Amino acid sequence: MTDVIVRAFEGTLQVRGGGDGRTLEGPLLPWGVEARVLDRGRLVVETFERGALHDVDPARVPLTATHPRDAGTLPIGVTLSIDERADAAWGSWRVSATTLGDEVLALARDGVPLGLSVGFMEVAGGSRWSPDRRRVTRTRAALDTSPSSGGPRTSAPRSPRSVARRTPAGCRCSPAC
């Protein structure tokens, strides 16, 4: 079974100014930030390198409000862009007019700190391990998926802390898991 690895990082989602007020934007995945994570039963230090999401097609990454437990969880929006900036991969998401989507937007407008967590799958050759296997640098990761594949998705809002866990394939990224 392919595992989806879930990470949450400090960051702030904000409603983009202008337009119809239904677009969130903010940092998705910081570059070079060390996180202590549990990987296959042991504690390791993980970082992501700029370019790790280079091959990701934003159109294939739905936005969910929670990390789904099965394929029955509907997204609340779509990813519009993933841009590599100096500090992090930044994204923008169109939030659909659904009950949960409207709640997420209301929280963002009220200034409630919202962050993102992201689910990814390791890509062959996309992880550089130290000789003692205590440190890993992710140089490539797979985020993109079709809704039917049950692969990773982007989620918003999330508490501002760094967390790590492995979940069975079918989990997507979400703001509040």
For 116-174, the pLDDT digits (tens) are 888 888 888 889 999 988 888 988 888 745 444 444 445 544 333 333 333 323 323 44
In a domain, 175, yes or no: no
User: Quick check: 59 and 2 in contact, CB under 8 A?
Assistant: no
Query: pTM of the predicted model, to two decimals?
Result: 0.76
In a domain, 84, yes or no: yes
- pLDDT surpassing 90 at residue 19: no
Tokens in use for 165? 């866990």
Q: Helix H segments across 68-145?
A: 99-109
3-state secondary structure at position 63 = strand
- Euclidean distance between CA atoms 21 and 19, whole angstroms: 6
Place 2 in a pLDDT band, splitting at 50, 70 and 90. Answer: low
In a domain, 68, yes or no: yes
What pLDDT does 167 receive? 32
pLDDT tens digits, 22-80: 999 999 889 999 988 888 888 999 999 999 988 888 988 888 887 666 677 788 999 99
DSSP annotation string for 76-95: SEEEEEEEE-SSEEEEEEEE
In a domain, 65, yes or no: yes
In a domain, 54, yes or no: yes
What pLDDT does 15 receive? 93
Domain around 123: 3-168
In a domain, 174, yes or no: no
In a domain, 43, yes or no: yes
In a domain, 176, yes or no: no
- pLDDT surpassing 50 at residue 176: no
Average pLDDT over residues 89-109: 94
Q: Cα 85–89–92 angle (5° rounding)? A: 105
Tokens 């130290």 sit on residue: 130
How many domains in the chain?
1
